[in-house]
Amino acid sequence: MFETIHYEDTLNINKTKLYIDCRSPSEFNHSSIPHAINIPVLLDDEREIVGTLYKNGELEQAKIVGVTAISKRLPDIFTQIIELKTNYDELYFFCSRGGYRSSALVNMLLGVGVKCHKISGGYKSYRKYVNEHLENLISNVKLITLYGYTGTGKTSILNELQNMGYNVLNLEKYANHRGSLLGSIGKSEPFSQKKFESLLFEDLKKFENSYAFAEGESKRIGNIILPASLYTKLRASTKILINSDMDFRINEIKTQYLVDFENDKELIEKTVKKLEKYISESRINMYMDFLKNNNFNDLIQDLCENYYDRNYKLPKENFTKIYNNNNSIEIAKQIAKDFEEYFA
């Protein structure tokens, strides 16, 4: 029998460590412990077959199929883990609930002399830990929040502040979505709610009892729902307003959204057509003509004036500072200077 360890106990071990997710690739991609790597015991199709056998009561056959599947990959898995062991003091394996998949792999490794541990309760126990501690971490962070219309450079300013070493809660990064109807363009698949919460949790741990910059968001970022306490914290935060002229906004939006227009063109057209709920058919047709002729400047300007700005609701409270942004790097430096005492 091997030693198990609770996730929270791994946090207190002052050694180099790596979390290894034994679940299938699709489970791993949906959500995992941040910075974990995936060494699947069963691939997606294999897991589906084994799961069906279990549901049908064919337990022995399910085990045979599972063992047969992993045995083909054992030499490669073993080679990979031996290499990882040279770079990390501790290897922590987990599956969904700390059951067969992680147990089988850890038993095999211990049998050939590789020291490792299984996380008790698997990924489910990690999620329980996040759920138990997330609210407290949210309550302990103090936020300085950037507001402004789409394209005013809020994300660029936050990125620059982060490069300068300041704490930043990059909520749109955690969601892999920019928050607007067009917010998924130029991005891979938006992250799941669980993945968002894990990435948020990971950064909040670093910022406890200190200030962090963030962007003012609505209650949803794409399909992600902000924790109610975080949304309340954003609304009660120290607020900054970022303004920019239309030329700057057009260039900023092109930089953010139209990085790979040829590959994203079909998605952009499909997304623009969804705006018919909010704007006239004639305007949608005009947008499609703009796209057909690569007339991005007019498209972006009209979208800003007749969709984004009309639907973006600025907080009614007073702003502590207002900046006119025509250079996000310089504005980030000015913000850092103006709020230096908050981080002293």
Residue 203 has pLDDT above 70, yes or no: yes
SS3 sequence, 181-193?
CCCCCCCCCCCCH
**7-31 pLDDT tens trace:** 999 999 999 999 999 999 999 999 9
Q: Region 323-336: what's the mean pLDDT?
A: 98
**Residue 98, SS3 per DSSP:** coil
pLDDT at 312 over 90: no
Confidence band of 4 (pLDDT split at 50, 70, 90) = very high
**pLDDT tens for residues 138-160?**
999 999 999 999 999 999 999 99
Strand partners, 221: 224
User: What are the phi and psi torsion angles at 114 (to 5°)?
Assistant: -95, 115
Q: Measuring CA to CA, which residue among 31, 37, 38, 20 is closest to residue 198?
A: 31
Which domains are present in the chain?
A: 4-129 (3.40.250.10), 141-343 (3.40.50)
Q: What pLDDT is attached to residue 1?
A: 53
Per-residue pLDDT at 183: 62
Residue 39 CA to residue 250 CA, distance in Å, equals: 44
pLDDT exceeds 60 at position 216: yes
For the chain, the average pLDDT equals: 91
Residue 184: band (very low, low, confident or very high) from pLDDT cuts 50, 70, 90? low
Q: Which two tokens stand for residue 194?
A: 């669980």
Distance CA 5, CA 113 (A): 19
Q: Smallest Cα–Cα separation from 257: which of 192, 190, 185, 307?
A: 185
pTM of the model: 0.90
Q: State what percent of residues in the chain have pLDDT above 90.
A: 67
Query: Per DSSP, what are the bridge partners of residue 323?
Result: 242
* Strands, sheet with 142-147, edge to edge from the N-terminal-most edge strand: 168-169, 211-215, 142-147, 238-243, 321-324
Q: What is the mean pLDDT of residues 193-199?
A: 97
* Average confidence (pLDDT) over 24-49: 96
Mean pLDDT of the 280-284 span: 91
Alpha-carbon distance of 118 to 105, in angstroms, equals: 9
The one-character DSSP state at 306 is I
Determine the average pLDDT of the residues in 164-171.
96
For residue 22 the two structure tokens come to 């034994």
Higher pLDDT among residues 124 and 273, named by residue: 124
